[in-house]
Amino acid sequence: MSDDRPTPRLPDLDHAPYLRAALDLAREGQAAGSSPVGAVLVNHEGQIIARGRNRVGEAQTPEHVGNASVAHAEMDLYFQVGKLEDPHTLTLYTSLEPCLMCGGASALLGVGRIVWATDDPWGGSGRLIRWTDHPAMQDTQVVPTPEAHLEREGALLFAPEAKRAFPEEGWQLWRTRYPRETAPADQTDVERT
């Protein structure tokens, strides 16, 4: 039996407002004591239908997964929204390139497009497997860092967390990818000595 409903396609969207919303949520996460990562889910009409932010450093509530390693911004968003209707018509916007868990979950849920503000050269899924090579990502459009000024903003926001949380190898990858944006975090260490 075929479904005669028209399939909405992914709209051409101005990515900037949605990436700004994700960056605002990242700041909320940071202010609450979690990592500065935020995400929004947008439908084919351009409406934000769900918002999430990192909650690893926060208590779990009935509304939000928290106090767990899986309490990433994207997972917070997916737990809130529940079952996705027509996921292939949805766009996930994140402040930071999703990790393998969040990227894999997005693909397995069938999200049509993923857009992120800032690359994560250490923790991003793309470091472990190219997005286009991931078997589950074949039907997902991936749009990394489409707005240079927002990419820089996200890198400045996350760099102190990358320096704190990642091993030296990870921090070196961040310093190579974002030398100007990581300099303030390195300068903070110099000022302390």
Residue 25 has pLDDT above 70, yes or no: yes
Residue 17 burial (CB count, 10 A) = 14
Residue 158 has pLDDT above 90, yes or no: yes
H-run or E-run covering 92: strand 91-96
**Residues 120, 52: Cα–Cα separation, whole Å:** 18
Least confident of 91-95, 107-111, 125-129, 182-186: 125-129
Q: For the residues 66-85, what does the mean pLDDT come to?
A: 92
Radius of gyration over alpha carbons of the chain, in Å? 17
Phi, psi dihedrals of residue 173, rounded to the nearest 5°: -65, -40
Q: For the residues 73-89, what does the mean pLDDT come to?
A: 94
pLDDT of residue 5: 46
Amino acid at 185: A
pLDDT of residue 134: 74
**Residues 101, 84: Cα–Cα separation, whole Å:** 18
pLDDT, tens digit, 9 for 90 and up, residues 116-157: 999 999 999 887 777 777 777 778 889 999 999 999 999 999
Residues annotated as catalytic (active site), given as ranges: 74
